[in-house]
Structure 1
């Protein structure tokens, strides 16, 4: 028997493991052809299969390889040690020797033999024929582990088509599998946005992902804060380990294929017609069949490498002289500027590097694209290459924006220093003014700083009008934009009622697209804060449609759109929609996640906190704090610190609560202050931790402050907090505010208040059941608590006992995400939300097939989830899961 390979632990793929095991345990079943790219984890998967099979097979393993491919039976040599050199050349002698070794009737217990062939794509023809004969004679079962390139021997594919082999494909990692792998490699949790970026960069290949993680940690691109790993800079694939992996992947290509691959990698993307003029057409077809390149369905049929990481590494592997020659050929063949963003960027950067002539207008366009793609380093290189007075101000705006994204506000402000005073066109003036206002807010200048920028903008408009650059009509349109900046300052001061009518008019009647976008964003935020979240979400959908008309020119509005959408969804109580929205943004895995990941992470944590899923909320909130320490564009860190302190106290982590509370108090709040909701949480936290009676008068004062500003959403949350802490006198006021607010949360609070007013314990119990079913664990506990109070006041001990028991279950659910663990039961905190959902359905008596139908997934997907659940919880049977978990819905 050959030596066993040392392999990494298998991550995920439990359904695939079970499929292979079932196939091999079927007495009349075929062999197995296990296909997957290099690094996809075929060996680890087979190792897991052998563990699952245990003593039910006698495993043998051989390793083929390119150096053995031309030598007959070379890969089988470890199994033929008893043959003489002359006998090894005789097919009959080799067949007899293997038959003796594999035949179960010569072995104690008649355990069937299983032959595992590593790198089966390199198995020589003689060995393939011989192993086929052994399979047909039922002497041994065989598993071939093959890469998709080079292709497996034709004989294996024929065996598959004839039913002698069952084909299984090892696919890229799923997101939850990537999360597990990242945590295993780094030894601590990794924030979701970082996992998404790395998963996309590695194309889900476990070996590439592992190398990225190790390299990122070594280079400092991955940083650790409070036991969580965060990607702090765009991935740079310069590590020798990654280069070796990619070098091995392309070694099997002939010269023509390598040249085509290098050409596509260096160009980022090329129209197919252009590529055909540069490279062999058969080579293009071959690379496409092998899965190295992809031809898009756009009108120019642009060609790109399938794996972005491979493309990046190839660009570094190509020798400099060879790369320069290929670049010159590409530049000559393009005969003009590329149409794709990545292609144009590569074209302009090459031109600058090689000294080829390129117009400054094109360089400026490339800088804008680099900002659109959140590549601040490239923006810096491009913007600093522009020297003429004609484009000087526009280049300065792009440079300032890149520095703003990087968090270097002082350098960004320096780049903008002269632009408002010198800009000669309204678009540059607008962009400079809006960015200057953002910088003013970032450095704590508050609404006064924003107002000063608006005034400077108006002065600049008058300057342009005086020299005839702008007509009176155009000046009026641009003054509307400056007016919007003033309205945003009033909005920041909480004067929502003063701005909404004017914002609504600008939203409805502005002819300029950018004015409509600005007005729509500001109006939506104001509406959401004043209790009209559903209306706000409708306007935001329209703004998103407007932005989609030109994502390049108006990309700088998209972060604001995302921020306001998250806030509006939160205020509407659409927590599940919010989490799905964040998930969609993360799956897109753009470089923008490096700059907006903290906002997304905080939004999810805050939503889970409001729902009462405390065990899930706390890690998300803590991770958002660590991300904000690295880059805090919106000044969100004080709010996040206060929220973490509150959440930590709710789950009984007072050590964390004390630490984060102190950090929140130490944060400077120059030019801004904590939100009313965060201040209410701090009041509750500080007094609960000091064992003093909650001074509800402070909460009432906050509610009054919110009411004076027209901030009904905040007033609703503050009043609800006071009622939760026992101030029944505020129930009618809370109901009145809820009646004036839109959204699911407000509607539920209204029903909650009405039931308290009429002392309807049955209604409160029903509301508790409804809230729990919708995952609103905090509301479910509050309803149960009020039902207990009402029954207690009536002396209804019989019904009070049932309500008290329900209340205890609801309280327990707050710290387990809706799942209550019994003594010695598995720790469900280890499970993802999807896995907890499946565990719930198992407990309710659903079969695997019923769960698959209910969740609209395949049966194998459910089986894979269950195997993962078993592994995490240390159980081995479905009955263990169903019998030891109690879920209260």
Structure 2
């Protein structure tokens, strides 16, 4: 892995340095920047690209105390002690072959005599100089005057940007770096190339940075390599011990209120740490907070603190912080974590409250740790409830079920029964896929829970199960009753919103759910961050189905603002929102990597059911990109989540199969499967899905769905069903002008692939009517839109892009031949005789000037003879 690290090209800086070294008005450059930012690497790469010789000298702490120590190798052997004679000797050796480039690394460590020599060369312009100086260090006056007086041009080298960090790390890993992990790596390294390299190599060695389904993920705390630790430890060894004490405190609890830090360490120590650039003081409203100046400093200092010392220091911090009861979730979590690792004992109530906070913030691993500690201490139901939820979200249903199995429901009161029963039913239903067993638990709750505050929680959970069983009408009624109940607790409201959010958009009531989302989430504190994120997914789904794609994209971006590695599950749901919007637009080049990252983040010991909609999105994007085999593979993997507990997605599975068939060249089979998807959606009340599936059928050439779409346009929210109906009517009437018009409207609505399909279908009709100019215009439009979709493919686009002198059926047969199907397989797929297929193959070969099936397959795969559009 080490050999993979190479200089990340900085063309702008490279050009500035090279220009300064060849400029007759200056004597070179001085490059300043923090340690490890890449000053020396950049300087040496520039000098290596220049003609002539470069003489490099590297200053060290030991050489700084020796006159001409850094240039000692160029001083001729002599017993003389005259500094002038030594200067002359070094100068003559350095410039013996005429003007040269003199490189000085860490010039702030130059001894006085060496600095004088460098100053003379610069002033007299007898050579060019490239020097590096570490920012924040004292620099000899004779060196500093070089850039102050204009002899050297000063260039400040900044750390890498986030994009540069990601590019470098991905080039080393040879794969995609998860965006959430990239944020952590960039933040922790501060963009410092040296720190970045050490951090990544240490994470690879520790196994915290690993590849999952083609995506590299960082899970767990960042680590510091021994080499980097040694470098930073050497710096701390020469720093005021009081300043290091401040660093130790912040390494265990950051940030700290300045008043608390003064009480713990004293003002003098804080001043010393600030002057040494180890910490920084930030203002947050009226308060001042102290932070470590670079995240890796904290990692290194924590390595130096022994277990006993760390426990004692955390105990001291807790004592000070506890004088003011934390009022925020972050404050409670921080105090609880400090308690767990300190020499003091936390109140169990604090641990339970902090665990609830962690779960509400979608940080399941942290919620697990806090809840487990509380549960092991007192075995209370509230701690068990939180622990089971945290385990379920992380794909560990068996462990979650074991926690709840310790309780006998007959011994529980109504409140405890709800805390026990809802997660138990959820684990059994979604994680284990046992609908009947989950129903038994829910029946128990319905018999025994009558409290008007608790009953909505049972109803909301039941609504979610009912909707996932694809009983939409019943489930939506239950969810809406909870949402309309002013006395329903927050957890019930969130669960009901989650259930309604996955059902109402599919039922064609996206507009209704958008209103519900605004009411339900306004000023509401989340009780389960992941349930909240899934409800937000429903909000984006509603915006997509009502045609408000720009608004959907804004929401998806807003909900994706996660930075903590512990929140990767919520982050994954947010990425699925982004992929949903991109897929709906037809931007598959964006949707594919986004969905892959989401699926990798949802990887768990037991596959999470929330991967199913992500897999369907990815399969749809692959099929729309003309990659049916990859789409089929995804669909096969998605089959691990099937049956009554995910019946909600059955129509979508059929719709994806339709696109796979179309991608393989069988538009007819695509129509059949699209109609099957529409029928399945209609039976369950998924009217928006029905409209979408019928629209797919029209895009594949079906002329018999227009009236059905017209009736759906009256009951499904948003403008898209009307566009679908217009498109289908134009296909039925072979109206090229109407297809061109609806293509324009699809594009304005942001549904680019539908716009491309309509234009491509218009082109075919213009061709049949010898409307050459209109044909060219429609083809050009279709190709432009397909390009915007990342080179998307569909039967209509392929026909427009590769128009051949064959009939539609001959082309369909030819594409199946190119896909490797035998004549018998083609006959079975098209429901015709083998002799009919042979006839189509013969006529296609004759028209295309090839002699056999192999030639036919080759010409289809190569794109066929292009239409001359001149």
Q: TM-score range by the shorter chain?
A: 0.7 to 0.9
Aligned residues of 2:67 and 2:114 also touching (Cα < 8 A)? yes
* Aligned partner of 1:61 among 56, 59, 65: 56
Structure 1, residues 455-476: CA drift from partner, whole Å, max 9, x if none? 44455545xxxxxxxxxxxx31
Cross-structure match for 2:508: 531
Aligned residues of 2:510 and 2:542 also touching (Cα < 8 A)? yes
**How far off its partner does 1:718 sit?**
0.7
Cross-structure match for 2:702: 727
* Aligned partner of 1:630 among 604, 616, 619: 604
1:510 aligns with 2:486: yes
Determine the C-alpha separation between the residues in 2 that align with 1:565 and 1:291: 46
* Aligned partner of 2:211 among 201, 224, 233: 224
Q: 1:332 to 1:516 in 2, by over 3 A?
A: closer
Q: 1:238 to 1:129 in 2, by over 3 A?
A: closer
Cross-structure match for 2:454: 478
* Aligned partner of 2:396 among 405, 408, 424: 408
Cross-structure match for 1:831: none
User: After the TM superposition, which residues 198-597 of structure 1 pair with which residues of structure 2 at under 5 Å, given as runs?
Assistant: 198-231=185-218, 233-237=219-223, 239-248=225-234, 250-288=236-274, 291-298=277-284, 299-320=286-307, 322-334=309-321, 336=323, 339=326, 347-348=335-336, 351-353=339-341, 355-371=343-359, 379=367, 382-386=370-374, 392-417=380-405, 421=409, 432-445=420-433, 451-459=439-447, 461-462=449-450, 475-498=451-474, 500=476, 503-504=479-480, 506-508=482-484, 510-512=486-488, 514=490, 515-547=492-524, 550=525, 555=529, 557-573=531-547, 588-597=562-571
User: After the TM superposition, which residues 710-721 of structure 1 pair with which residues of structure 2 at under 5 Å, given as runs?
Assistant: 710-721=685-696
Q: 1:406 to 1:65 in 2, by over 3 A?
A: farther
Residue aligned with 1:416, SS: helix
* Aligned partner of 1:196 among 179, 183, 198: 183
Determine the C-alpha separation between the residues in 1 that align with 2:138 and 2:346: 44
User: After the TM superposition, which residues 653-692 of structure 1 pair with which residues of structure 2 at under 5 Å, given as runs?
Assistant: 653-665=627-639, 668-669=642-643, 671-673=645-647, 674-686=649-661, 689=664, 691=666
Q: 1:572 to 1:310 in 2, by over 3 A?
A: farther
Determine the C-alpha separation between the residues in 2 that align with 1:663 and 1:556: 24
1:782 aligns with 2:777: no
Cross-structure match for 2:87: 94
Alignment: residue pair count = 788
Cross-structure match for 2:842: none
Determine the C-alpha separation between the residues in 1 that align with 2:690 and 2:291: 53
**How far off its partner does 1:765 sit?**
4.2
Determine the C-alpha separation between the residues in 2 that align with 1:23 and 1:758: 70
**How far off its partner does 1:261 sit?**
0.7
Cross-structure match for 2:841: none
Cross-structure match for 1:707: 682
**How far off its partner does 1:266 sit?**
2.0
**How far off its partner does 1:706 sit?**
2.0
Aligned residues of 2:107 and 2:131 also touching (Cα < 8 A)? yes
Cross-structure match for 1:122: 109
Cross-structure match for 2:39: 42
**How far off its partner does 1:346 sit?**
5.9
Q: Which moved more, 1:298-307 or 1:498-507?
A: 498-507
Determine the C-alpha separation between the residues in 2 that align with 1:426 and 1:20: 75
**How far off its partner does 1:439 sit?**
1.7
Q: 1:800 to 1:349 in 2, by over 3 A?
A: closer
Determine the C-alpha separation between the residues in 2 that align with 1:127 and 1:256: 35
**How far off its partner does 1:774 sit?**
8.3
CA RMSD of aligned residues (A): 4.2
Residue aligned with 1:237, SS: coil
Structure 1, residues 17-37: CA drift from partner, whole Å, max 9, x if none? 444445555543585443333
Determine the C-alpha separation between the residues in 1 that align with 2:162 and 2:679: 45
Determine the C-alpha separation between the residues in 2 that align with 1:790 and 1:437: 56
Determine the C-alpha separation between the residues in 2 that align with 1:152 and 1:767: 70
Aligned residues of 1:420 and 1:433 also touching (Cα < 8 A)? no
Tell me the TM-score normalized by structure 1.
0.77
User: After the TM superposition, which residues 2-41 of structure 1 pair with which residues of structure 2 at under 5 Å, given as runs?
Assistant: 8-11=5-8, 13-28=10-25, 31-41=28-38
**How far off its partner does 1:558 sit?**
3.2
Structure 1, residues 116-144: CA drift from partner, whole Å, max 9, x if none? 33233433344345434433333444443
Determine the C-alpha separation between the residues in 2 that align with 1:394 and 1:563: 28
Q: 1:373 to 1:306 in 2, by over 3 A?
A: farther
Q: Which moved more, 1:475-484 or 1:731-740?
A: 731-740
Determine the C-alpha separation between the residues in 2 that align with 1:15 and 1:793: 55
Aligned residues of 2:361 and 2:529 also touching (Cα < 8 A)? no
Aligned residues of 1:119 and 1:147 also touching (Cα < 8 A)? yes
Q: 1:629 to 1:348 in 2, by over 3 A?
A: closer
**How far off its partner does 1:620 sit?**
4.1
Structure 2: which 5+ residue stretches go unaligned? 798-870
Q: 1:331 to 1:699 in 2, by over 3 A?
A: closer
Structure 1: which 5+ residue stretches go unaligned? 1-5, 463-474, 821-889
Determine the C-alpha separation between the residues in 1 that align with 2:158 and 2:722: 45
Determine the C-alpha separation between the residues in 2 that align with 1:178 and 1:291: 24
